Chain A
């Protein structure tokens, strides 16, 4: 196994930016901000100050107000809190929820649980490009629909939904709108003063921050109420109890600050690398297929289907590249990606698709090497296989 593995799995998780790590380390030591932010004494107040500064930084990236950001243990918890919280609070108003078939498992598994709790859920099928159209959402709405949850950017194929248009339809209908923005924050502009969104989930570790921290945006203007998921202590306006992990929050804040200041640089960098990777792969493997919409998408994710070869072998052959066969959260499960199948790809092509995701620290050389390895292994496996027919 070569010493240096090329990491092209930024959509699963990102390395922590060195600047973030430094800020976090500063909070962890005795001289730092280690006290409990809920404590009344001076060290506690200092920790609280750091937490509030981080809240400002997170809010600033998405143009939200300070009081609209609730820290959680991650985007999965944010999704759970938004969906279960709203559905349960408004259960006497209606028991129908709308989502899509290609949401992250954090949303899908939560909706499955709602179904067990007596709710009805409509799962919208994406179009062939992997987009959820506003019209498809409009058709799924019912008089008893209380909540619509549609992701901003899909984690496997990188397509970006028009959440402004979807939100307008949802709001005209009088339902609440939740958006999982774990993959889009810092990569696409998000202006929550303009977007008709009531709840939005964010992650720390998808944007060069630490794992185990996330946030939920709760729009103050819409007065959406949530049943809390975790009780005890009344932290985060009573919506999310539990001692706040100062270093985690500060890390997320710093990561979001950097993302805001360097977004155009990051986007330019990732777009160029993604373009380079696709061109190199396409030149070597002309039959390769791009999964997902070619332009309405996020900059860092490239999902490619390789026809005529078996998926597990392709992934195993590219074992020295850190890439993903699907979403990391389900990748130990060898059933073909439910997202790609929802796009109408057959099992074979869904199985032999690779998600490459580039990021801030990816280099041109890495992309070139990766394209070389993948196309070489593709041709090797292709030659090994019997003639199709």
Chain B
């Protein structure tokens, strides 16, 4: 692909802290390479802001290789930008052309309060995991992972669900700010494996209870989450979550 440089107009959400009002600020960025990542463009802008003595734009990032789930920008209304099955760090500037205007906002959901600028607090996800997204194991020597035979279909489905990186794009994309895709991925991942079996019932009940407590909305099956998920987690997991929950409630 042909390399090119571009000048862009960015409208970025700036918010001093959790309690400040916040608003959009417009920035012009020049000579942005088409081979840069979206976050590298923000690095260039931030370096300039620092030189100018201004406060750089705060944004979350860590691995910058699409596997940690830290980056979290809503770009022109799309969590992680316009590309499918992609994180913000892996969105590259060749997605844009010279003269484009790009609007960048934080994840917006009451369960994800803005900490600063584009950084949100996703602690609500951590608390859902703490409520049941684990398996309890005895201490001692590590158990041979291959000692328990697992049906191939189940192992594959569990692995696909375990691909969830907990970035929260599902919540950001959902018109109801529902966390059902995230919770369903975590519940499915463990419910499909024999290691998850002993805590299967409490897990789903406790995780759903915590999810409701955190103020996420309810699922109305519009499936925006699946379309925006960088790891392509399927909404079939949500059906499984509903089934698990119904069975656990009836037991």
Q: Do A and B come from one complex?
A: no
Residues in chain A within 8 A of chain B (CB atoms): none
